[in-house]
Structures are given as structure tokens and as C-alpha cells.
Structure 1
Amino acid sequence: MNAPMPNSASLRERVSADEWRMRVDLAACYRLVAMYGWDDLVFTHISARVPGPEHHFLINPYGLLFEEITASSLVKVDLQGQKVMDSPYEINPAGFTIHSAIHEAREDANCVIHLHTVDGVAVSTQKDGLLPISQHSLFPMSGLSYHDYEGVALNPEEKVRLVADLGKTCSMILRNHGLLTCAHTVADAFLRMFFLQRSCEIQVKAQSSGGALIQVDPRIVAGIQAAADKVTLQAGGNIAWPALLRKLDRVAADYKD
């Protein structure tokens, strides 16, 4: 992709302050996914709802690596995936099929993260899915759903089934495909993905030992959400998000451009 990067100063003047803050948070999320090694070349997506009455969304320009994405390069689209602001970039239609379905059905899903990590895909191929074998795994398991694989996500009819499978949960394993989280804020969606991804890493590593695995008592799993709220001081993803942004400011501050 050889399109020139949009001018951040001129774009910032053309959008609301709320939209610019969302652009910065979403660009930061892309950079963090790349920093943790969770990206998949130019594939997979993170989307965010633009604050305001319009059903507009921000998503990555198709063809840029996650480490290249900036606040001004994000593409603004409607629920049909049509651009509503001039951009030299296009988007991936398969990616937006999944994201638009969730944004349309869930008013609380302001941010949707979908990844194809190696360990996430590995666990998605396992019949029993995510196992309650680590403390990390308990947090996503307090609200985890599954969606069966239907091929590359180009069929609009799949959206209905995806939304039905997601229900009210905020973490999902797409079987034979990857991981997904959603939340009211980018910070919350990122923290949920951190725990879901880390849980898959731990599971794959534990299974590689060949020994019997100890599963956590179901009663502990049932009470984990209350414990999570206490551990995060009721702040959710914001318990870690400011520190993550400070790290980005030290090593990749151009995400704000």
C-alpha cells in the first residue's frame, strides 16, 4: 500500500474532540497488539464506535501493519462498511462483517477486538475449548461464548448466528479461527483480550508437558467476577491502560499522529 499517510493536524481539526480521543485510543490498541506479538500481518481487526448519534465506526486501513497505524490513518465507516470520510485507504470486507454485526446488536460494544494469535487459534481447535486451569483463565470464563466456524466471514447471514452465540458475553472463541472480545471502552476490551490470550498461552504450554491438568473448582470460577472487580479497584481496563499508554509514549509515540 503506497497511499500517503493522512495529515494528522488537518484531520484533528475536522473531527470532534471525542472522536479524536477514540482515534488515539484505538491506534494505541493496534500498536499494543503489535507490541505483544498478537498481530497477523495485515489481517484481523480492532474497531471502535465513533462517539455521537451516528452509527459510525473506526477500523484499520487494509494493508497497513498494526505497528504502522496512527490515529489519523483509521478509516471511518458506517454499518455497511462504506466510508463516510475521505480516506486513501480501503477496509477488509470480511473483517467488518464480524465487527459490524456486534456493533449493531450490542450498544455496549463500543470496541471489538478480533485476533488470530497462534495460541488462540490452537485453543479454538480444541473440542473442550478454554479450560479452567489457571487464574488467568477464570476471568474470561466468567463470560465466555463460542461460535462455530463457517468459513471466511463474507456471508451476511452468519452475522445473525454470531450475535446469537455471543449473547451478552464479552469474550468469545471463534472455533478454528481465533479470539474476540468486546467492551464499552478500548481499555476494557484490551484487558479482556490480554487475559483471554494469556489463558490460551498458558493452556497450550501446560498441555505440552503431557501431564494431567488440575482444573479449578467450579465454585471459584462462579465467584471470579466479584474478585476481578475488587482486584481492579472497580476501574476495569483503566487500571492498566494509562500505564500502557505511557509505555507507548516512550517507544512509539507516533500512534497519536
Structure 2
Amino acid sequence: MATQLHRPIECSAEEWEARQQLAACYRIFDLLGWSESIYNHISLTVPGEDGAFLINPFGLLYSEVCASNLVKIDIDGNTLDGSTYPVNKAGFTQHAYFHRHLPQAKAICHVHTSETMAVSSYEHGLLPSNFYACAFVGQIGYHDFEGVTVRAEEGERLLTNLGQHKILMLRNHGPVVMGKTVPEMFFTMWALQRACEIQCATLAMGKPVLVSDEVLRVHQRDLSQVQLPGGPGAPDFAAWVRKVDRVDRSWRD
């Protein structure tokens, strides 16, 4: 495999902006401890190119991902930008199916954090036991574990179990989180991670206090009143980009 982390690339201004945003997201995930060695994936559709999306080069750490070494592939797995890096088949199979069939799923991540994997492996899934979890109750799909996701025929079941939601908990495996934008997906993932962390801590102490259905409805109704301008997750993502920049700006190359 090529060892050059940066490579010359020709693309539209829109694609380069998307590449930088996705590369920043990889670095943020790494800074937050959400990376898993060279595994897992975050993907983003290429603006103006039907059926094309960007994904991480298989073999690089998230801390090595930058705008120029992201791989552009189509939904059939063909490399479109001359990259010499391979793509993890598990990432392609799963993400490509969602990108193909869900036009609203522009940005998709799949992680293996300890807490989200623990909750996905818990019989009752995510409980309405804390502030963050209350935003997600009734808005998560669950998909039973079928082994590593490399078979195209599993895609239809993944889509069915996702339903109208933007989070799919793969049982015994971990979550897939989707958004119309990278910031929206990031913020959803951040809140889900916090919900799972707190649930794990609460269950370790004993029986949790669960929030009633009536309060859940009020909570979910009123959440929009505490959002900042710029779209879902935009201020949060921008803040973390600033923090990443203070650590290492090489993701921009």
C-alpha cells in the first residue's frame, strides 16, 4: 500500500470543501476517542455528483486522514479519484446501501465506542434514563447481528430496520448515525455517545429512574428552542474544528 499521506488531487471547489469538512470530522472523532485503530468509517456524499461519496483510506488512522487522501468511490465500489488506497469492504457495503437509498443521508458514521457497543448489546437498548437519551427514545432502529457487514443482501434488512430514523443500532456491534450534513451527523453522534456513557454509569449503580412517556414528548417537542443558529450541530462542529486546529492542521491538506 502507498505510504504517501498527501497526494495531488484535482477536484471542484465544492468537492474540496466537502473533503476538508470530512477530514476535520475524522480528526474530531479521533480527538474525542471515537476512533478504532484503522477501522470504522465516516462517509460523505460528493456535492453535485450522484452516487459518489468520500470515505477513509483503509489502513490509515483517523489522525492521518486529510482532505487529499480521502477516497472517492461510487455506490458500486469503484474508485473514482485514482487513489491507491483500498476501502474497507465492511464500510463500503453498509454505507453505499444507505447512500444509494436514502438521499437525506448525506453524512454517515459507524463507530465502536465501548459505551455505544455496550448499549447496542443490552437487551433493552437505550433507556429513557438521562437527559440525552430522552431525545432519542422512539427514534432509533435496531438490527440484529448477522456477522461482519460485507454481504450486499443484508442491505435491505438494514434499511427496513432503520425505518424513518437516522440512527440504527446494530445489535452486539454499534451504531450507524446519519445526517443531512456532517455537523448534524456529528452532533447526533455526540449526544448519542453521551446518552450511552451515562446509561452505562447509571446501570452500574443499580436500577435507573426512567422518564415517563408524557415528559419524553414534552422534552422532544421543546428541544428546538435551545438550538443555536446555523443548522443542527453547526456551532458545535465549528467549535471542535477550532480545537482540532489548535492540535494539528494537517487535515486541511
TM-score by length of 1: 0.94
> Which residue of the other structure, out of 116, 127, 133, is the alignment partner of 1:131?
127
- Gapped runs of 5+ residues in structure 2? none
Question: Which residue in the other structure is 1:213 paired with?
Answer: 208
2:243 maps to 1:224: no
- The answer on whether the counterparts of 1:140 and 1:195 sit within 8 Å (CA) in structure 2 is no
Q: In structure 1, how many angstroms separate the alpha carbons of the residues matched to 2:25 and 2:215?
A: 31
What secondary structure is seen at the aligned counterpart in 1 of 2:147? coil
Amino acid across the alignment from 1:230: Q
Secondary structure of the equivalent of 2:189?
Answer: helix
2:5 partner SS: coil
Q: Distance in 2 between matches of 1:139 and 1:113?
A: 19
Aligned to 2:3: 3
Q: TM-score scaled to structure 2, two decimals?
A: 0.96
Rounded Cα–Cα distance in structure 2 between residues aligned with 1:74 and 1:140: 31
Q: 1:68 to 1:105 in 2, by over 3 A?
A: same
* Cα 1:85–1:251 shift into 2, 3 Å: same
Supply the distance in 2 between the matched residues of 1:119 and 1:53 (Cα, whole angstroms): 36
User: In the alignment, residue 101 of structure 1 is paired with which amino acid?
Assistant: Y
Does the Cα contact within 8 Å between 1:4 and 1:88 map onto a contact in 2? no
Aligned length: 252
- For 1:96, the equivalent position in structure 2 comes to 92
2:235 aligns with 239
| Alpha-carbon distance between aligned partners in 1 of 2:138 and 2:17, rounded to the nearest angstrom | 30
Quick one: distance in 1 between partners of 2:137 and 2:234?
21
Distance 1:33 1:79, change over 3 A: same
Deviation readout 1:142-192 (Å, 9 max, x if unpaired): 521111111011111100000111111111211000011101100000100
Q: Which runs of 4+ in 1 moved over 6 A?
A: none
Residue number in structure 2 paired with 1:19: 15
CA distance in 2 between counterparts of 1:232 and 1:255 reads: 28
**1: CA distance, partners of 2:221 / 2:250:** 37
How far 1:77 sits from its partner (Å)?
Answer: 0.1
Alignment of 1:187-202 (within 5 A): 187-202=183-198
Q: 1:149 is matched with which residue: 145, 151, 165?
A: 145
Residue among 182, 186, 189 paired with 1:186: 182
- Which whole-Å CA distance do the structure 1 matches of 2:49 and 2:80 have between them? 14
Identify which of 27, 36, 61 aligns with 1:31. 27
